[in-house]
Amino acid sequence: MTTSARFTDECYPQQAGPSCGLPSAGRTLLTLLAAVVALTAGAAHAQERTASRPVPDGAAAEHPLQTPIRLARASLKVAETYQDYEASFARREQVGTQTYSSTMKMRFRRKPFSVYLRFLREHDGREVMYVDGRNQNQMLAHDTGFRGLFGTVSLDPTSPTAMAEGRHPITNIGLENMTSGVISRWEAEMKYDDIEVKYYPNAKFGGQPCLVIETSHKVRRRGEEFQMTRFYIDRKTNIGFRLQHFGFPQGGGQAPLLEDYTYSDIRPNVNLTDRAFDPRNPEYDF
């Protein structure tokens, strides 16, 4: 097997974004990180020795993706304790040849699945709402400017109009869905033996510490869209808050960023009521 996993103290390039702190509730994260360090250090020392203990017949090395999956599952357990939350949500997606970016204020509730988004900056004033089981499972949306003349419209979340500027429907949004998605991807990629895994335990994001897990393919295969994935975990809360997917580079260039989702200023379990997901709420402009 040519797969490799590397653990490095190199600080991941700092970028503006959410605040992470030192571990408190993230004991599982620290335990797994310690295991990664120990295993990696042990492997390095073993390579330096001229004589090593033979590997028993039938013994199989652990796939490098197993540790990222364990880390992501620990993060998922935290996300599952967030019955609701308010947050800032930023996304950047390449759809066809166009790249769309937006920043939103977000309200989210797990059950029933409920989302409210108010766009800032690029589309200031645009609002979107979706509540599972309400409005015939259609999302409500209204725009600003000329498009705002049409008022509030109901849209199928997977319709071409709703998906015109994004790669995923609103029903896929949220910390839990993001983390579940990267777990599913890594589980599917365990059949490959060319996966490289890097860890950045001293990463900085917005000046605060977090863990970045980076996985990449050395070989492009039919049907594989992403060459590299980066998953960011807040070291204070152990919550996964950012996911990036990069495509395969063309002509020796850099890998293009296809998807980038970041949740910041997360305030969990704030007891959001039905009013927070009611278009008649006077705070909203539906």
d(CA 14, CA 263): 16
Helix (H, G, I), strand (E, B) or coil at 116: strand
What are the DSSP calls for 200-260, one per residue?
A: EEEEEETTEEEEEEEEEESS--TT--EEEEEEEEETTT--EEEEEEEE--STT-PPPEEEE
Q: What is the pLDDT of residue 224?
A: 85
Q: What is the pLDDT of residue 58?
A: 54
**Segments of the chain with pLDDT less than 50:** 1-28, 35, 37-55, 146
| Structure confidence by residue, pLDDT tens digits, 250-276 | 877 889 999 999 999 999 999 999 999
Q: What is the pLDDT of residue 24?
A: 34
| Structure confidence by residue, pLDDT tens digits, 163-197 | 998 999 999 999 999 999 999 999 999 999 899 99
Q: Flag whether 218 is in a domain.
A: yes
Q: Flag whether 229 is in a domain.
A: yes
For the four alpha carbons of 219, 33, 211 and 72, in that order, the dihedral sign comes to positive
Q: Flag whether 260 is in a domain.
A: yes
Q: What is the pLDDT of residue 218?
A: 86
Q: What type of residue sits at position 30?
A: L
Q: What type of residue sits at position 190?
A: M
Q: Which residue has the tokens 């709703």?
A: 162
Distance (Å) of CA 237 to CA 22, 28, 76, 133, 270: 9, 11, 11, 31, 16
Q: Tell me how many domains the chain contains.
A: 1
Q: Flag whether 89 is in a domain.
A: no
Q: What is the pTM of this model?
A: 0.81
Among the listed residues 75, 65, 35, 7, the one whose alpha carbon sits nearest the alpha carbon of residue 236? 75
Tokens representing 222 are: 């039919």
Q: What is the pLDDT of residue 221?
A: 86
Q: Flag whether 53 is in a domain.
A: no
d(CA 204, CA 119): 26
Q: How many Å from the N-terminal Cα to the C-terminal Cα in the chain?
A: 56
8 A C-beta contact, residue 132 and residue 112: yes
8 A C-beta contact, residue 105 and residue 127: no
Q: Flag whether 112 is in a domain.
A: no
Q: Flag whether 253 is in a domain.
A: yes
Q: Flag whether 184 is in a domain.
A: yes
Tell me the residue range of the domain where 226 lies.
Answer: 10-24+31-43+62-80+174-267
Strands annotated E in the chain: 4-7, 84-95, 98-109, 114-120, 127-131, 139-142, 153-155, 195-205, 208-217, 226-234, 240-247, 257-268
